[in-house]
Chain A
Amino acid sequence: MEVRFKLNGKEVATATASNIRLIDLLRDKFNLTGTKEGCGIGECGACTILMDGRAVNSCLVLAAQANGKEIITIEGIADGDILHPLQRRFLSNGAIQCGYCTPGMVLSASALLSQNPDPSEEDIKEAIAGNLCRCTGYKQIIDAVKETAKELQLKQ
């Protein structure tokens, strides 16, 4: 079957099978390997992407279900070579160690900030509750999201 969707701003069309998951399509067909597979059952959030602006686990979506949707992966969040403010703040706060959870964390945080530009600490914790990080202990990640929110608010 053929699926068409908008991927990181560009219309794409590709042949796929009914039993292929979106994560596999993204990684294997489009070489977007920033989307990681951790648990494969929706518990760790490493495969988080944005589908029509909402954070979803791409291991729990079939490629065919992406038809007609707008998909954003971690590769589509920067503006060319200029990192997204969340990415810069993750770096400056040391919110990255092994990096495996980072793409998912950044996308969950970006979904939060697009809906809620002034999140409380509790809002941030809730937004990333579905993303496991085994390195940082979360503090640096929460700080990075807080600082980004402030930065983006000042810009407006």
Chain B
Amino acid sequence: MMPRFEIIFPDNLSDALSVLSSGHEHMQIIAGGTDVITGLGQGSNRFKNTKMLIDINNIPEVNGIEIGREKISIGGAVTFSDILQSEFIERSFPLLWKSVSTIGSVQIRNRATIAGNFVNNAPCADTVPVLLVYNATIVIESMSSKREISLYEFLSGPYKTKLSRNEIVTRINIPIPNKNLNGDFYKLGRRRAVAISRITLAVLADVNSESKINEIRIASGAVTPIGTRFFDLEKIAKGKKADDQFFKDMAGKLGEKIIEVTGLRWSSEYKLPVVQQVFYQLLKGIERG
């Protein structure tokens, strides 16, 4: 049963921010609504104080995908389906395109937004590991301030972020990666569609012609409490030769690191070998380029 609330549809950013700046503890921003409406309907604690929804879909500042020379800028209300329709994203950000194409179902992707994915910050948010390896930053605005921070910094814990109640995520900026960066995204769920991911991994690497790793970026989701980067491992790998033995070592180290972050769980015995094998396969992929 739905609780009682109001809904408003501001048609510009300053109106939305001005409403948010007063009494925001009872307000909830909504765009796709695939998390918010189910949360409200199921009486989720996270939405129990909601007295007003602010639908941001009509605000031009949070819409559209802008392609620049050095980065793309995706609006906070841009849906997954909008992203899948962008040939530029498919070509220049193949891991992002792939992760988006595995989310939910057509119906979900037609409503749900990429910003909602990381603002909700479920451990299993599929685009998070991918946005992390692409070094995404997000633009956050309130009545009195505008700031841009890295997504890595933005995510603070399961279902928790650095977003204040009076702020809106207006844009997601992603630097266009250099052409030498190759990689892949892997997702394991219990059903092909509309499944909660159990394991997600993203790897992006620049390996030179002598098989030396110039740069590597590694991120996970679902197996860690929130999507996260593995900066320690990335540092170890830098400058190393990309060969089979090294990949096996790296896969072992990733497993240790995940145990370190999450602690041993009943499922570790099942999940770890899979994570390690998948990670090894992803690394073999970058070796081939």
A43 contacts chain B at the CB level, 8 A cutoff: yes
A103 contacts chain B at the CB level, 8 A cutoff: no
Closest CB-CB distance, B27 to chain A, in whole Å?
13
Interface segment among A26-34, A57-65, A78-86, A89-97: the answer is A57-65
Docked-complex contact B194 and A54, CB < 8 angstroms: no
Q: Kindly list chain B residues whose C-beta atoms are within 8 Å of the C-beta of A64.
A: 7, 9, 55
A42, A55, A62, A126: the one within 8 Å of B7 (CB): A62
Complex formed: what's the CA distance from A60 to B42 in Å? 12
Docked-complex contact A60 and B33, CB < 8 angstroms: yes
Asked if A130 meets B105 with Cβ closer than 8 Å, knowing A56-B111, A65-B55, the reply is yes
Docked-complex contact A54 and B38, CB < 8 angstroms: no
Q: Kindly list chain A residues whose C-beta atoms are within 8 Å of the C-beta of B57.
A: 65
* Chain A residues touching B, majority SS: mixed
Asked if A56 meets B107 with Cβ closer than 8 Å, knowing A19-B2, A43-B194, A61-B33, the reply is yes
Q: Kindly list chain A residues whose C-beta atoms are within 8 Å of the C-beta of B194.
A: 42-43, 129-130
Q: Kindly list chain A residues whose C-beta atoms are within 8 Å of the C-beta of B277.
A: none
Asked if A130 meets B106 with Cβ closer than 8 Å, knowing A61-B33, A62-B37, the reply is yes
Docked-complex contact A54 and B81, CB < 8 angstroms: yes
Complex formed: what's the CA distance from A155 to B273 in Å? 54
Docked-complex contact A19 and B104, CB < 8 angstroms: no
A58 to chain B: closest residue by CB? B107
Docked complex: A20-64 residues within 8 A CB-CB of B: 20-21, 40-43, 45, 48, 51, 54-57, 59-62, 64
Docked complex: B129-170 residues within 8 A CB-CB of A: none
Asked if A61 meets B111 with Cβ closer than 8 Å, knowing A41-B38, A42-B34, the reply is yes
Q: Kindly list chain A residues whose C-beta atoms are within 8 Å of the C-beta of B106.
A: 55, 108, 111-112, 126-127, 129-130
Q: Kindly list chain A residues whose C-beta atoms are within 8 Å of the C-beta of B107.
A: 42, 45, 48, 55-57, 60, 108, 130
B43 contacts chain A at the CB level, 8 A cutoff: no
Complex formed: what's the CA distance from A62 to B111 in Å? 12
Docked-complex contact A42 and B81, CB < 8 angstroms: no
Q: Scan A119-133; emit 1 where CB is below 8 A from any B CB, else 0.
A: 000000011011100
Docked complex: B26-67 residues within 8 A CB-CB of A: 32-34, 37-38, 40-42, 53, 55, 57
Closest CB-CB distance, B33 to chain A, in whole Å?
6
Closest CB-CB distance, B63 to chain A, in whole Å?
14
Complex formed: what's the CA distance from A112 to B106 in Å? 10
Complex formed: what's the CA distance from A40 to B34 in Å? 11
Closest CB-CB distance, A21 to chain B, in whole Å?
7
Complex formed: what's the CA distance from A126 to B57 in Å? 26
B41, B105, B110: the one within 8 Å of A40 (CB): B41
A153 contacts chain B at the CB level, 8 A cutoff: no
Q: Kindly list chain B residues whose C-beta atoms are within 8 Å of the C-beta of A59.
A: 37
Q: Kindly list chain A residues whose C-beta atoms are within 8 Å of the C-beta of B193.
A: 129-130
Docked-complex contact A65 and B33, CB < 8 angstroms: yes
Docked-complex contact A129 and B108, CB < 8 angstroms: no
Q: Kindly list chain B residues whose C-beta atoms are within 8 Å of the C-beta of A130.
A: 104-108, 193-194
Complex formed: what's the CA distance from A59 to B194 in Å? 15
Docked-complex contact B110 and A56, CB < 8 angstroms: yes
B34, B53, B81: the one within 8 Å of A18 (CB): B53
Docked-complex contact A18 and B7, CB < 8 angstroms: yes
A contact set with B: CB distance below 8 Å: 17-21, 40-43, 45, 48, 51, 54-57, 59-62, 64-65, 67, 108, 111-112, 126-127, 129-131
CB pairs A–B below 8 angstroms (21 shown): A18-B6, A19-B3, A20-B2, A40-B41, A41-B38, A42-B38, A42-B104, A42-B105, A42-B108, A42-B194, A54-B110, A56-B110, A60-B34, A60-B38, A61-B37, A65-B55, A65-B57, A129-B193, A130-B105, A130-B107, A130-B193
13 additional contacts, CB 8 Å, given A42-B38, A43-B194, A130-B106? A20-B2, A41-B42, A51-B110, A57-B107, A57-B108, A60-B33, A60-B37, A60-B38, A61-B33, A62-B33, A111-B106, A129-B194, A130-B104
